[in-house]
Amino acid sequence: MPIRRLGAGAARLSDVTTRTVRGLGAAALLAASLGLSGCAVFSPVQTTIDYQPADGVKVGLGAVKIDNLLVVAPALGGPGTLSASVVNPTGQAVAIAFTDSGSGSSARFEVPAYTTDQMSGDGNLVELDKVSAAPGGIITVDVTSPIAGTTEVDVPVLDSQSYYRTLQPTSAPTPTASVPSPTAIVPSPTGSATPAAG
């Protein structure tokens, strides 16, 4: 069978088809890569979202900042210890008052000038006499300073177990197990034994 030669038009058609297929393939690949990489456009970057990596909450009082503010209390209606890290970059000492809005109980803490101080961290516990929520709950605390006035903030109440056991309020009753006293048997003069009150 003789070989038939294609004309110049057929060769051009073959070149166009090959270029078209290659171009469409490249366009499809580009569209797929753009579509797949576009998933991040609709998801916010997590490192740009502000969050509190602690048990407590932040409070801003002008230049003075309070981080990780929380209350450690063993029970509803009992005393509670305030704990926080307080940063005072100003040139004067700042007195801060904390009031539980639910119980009306309040406490005061003074942070010296140019310092970061741990409230209740040195054994001098800053305590509320009565806490209006049980451990696991939230109380509303009015934080007052001469710099920023009063700021209302929701503060978590945590149990005084494990990590926070050193912050157990001093005025809180310590649970003790009652052990019944043994009854002594004292012989009577008649020879029969009678229990004595113990």
The mean pLDDT value for 64-78 works out to 94
The mean pLDDT value for 1-28 works out to 66
- When comparing pLDDT for 150 and 163, which is higher? 150
Integer-rounded Cα Rg, in Å, for the chain is 37
Lowest mean pLDDT among 2-16, 17-31, 116-130: 2-16
Q: Residue 140 pLDDT more than 70?
A: yes
CB-CB contact of 141 with 59 (8 Å): no
The mean pLDDT of the chain is 80
Q: Give the residue from 139, 130, 136 showing the smallest Cα distance to 172.
A: 130
How far is residue 64's CA from residue 84's CA, in Å, rounded to a whole number? Answer: 13
Q: Residue 162 pLDDT more than 90?
A: no
pLDDT of residue 180: 42
Q: Give the residue from 94, 88, 50 showing the smallest Cα distance to 66.
A: 88
Residues near 97 by Cβ (< 8 Å), separated by ≥ 6?
Answer: 106, 107, 108, 142, 143, 144, 145
How far is residue 157's CA from residue 165's CA, in Å, rounded to a whole number? Answer: 13
- When comparing pLDDT for 6 and 69, which is higher? 69
Q: Residue 122 pLDDT more than 60?
A: yes
Domains and CATH numbers, the chain: 57-167 (2.60.40)
DSSP label of 91: S
How far is residue 173's CA from residue 104's CA, in Å, rounded to a whole number? Answer: 21
Whole-model pTM above 0.85? no
Question: What share of the chain has pLDDT > 70, as a percent?
Answer: 72
CB-CB contact of 119 with 82 (8 Å): yes
SS3 of residue 89 by DSSP: coil
Residues near 80 by Cβ (< 8 Å), separated by ≥ 6?
Answer: 71, 72, 73, 100, 127, 128, 130, 131, 157, 169
The mean pLDDT value for 100-117 works out to 95
Among 19-23, 32-36, 37-41, 158-162, the range with the most confident prediction by mean pLDDT is: 158-162
How far is residue 96's CA from residue 68's CA, in Å, rounded to a whole number? Answer: 15
* Bridge partners of residue 127, in order along the sequence: 81
- When comparing pLDDT for 125 and 1, which is higher? 125
pLDDT of residue 69: 96
Q: Residue 73 pLDDT more than 70?
A: yes
pLDDT digits over 80-107, tens only? 999 999 999 999 999 999 999 999 999 9
Q: Residue 188 pLDDT more than 70?
A: no
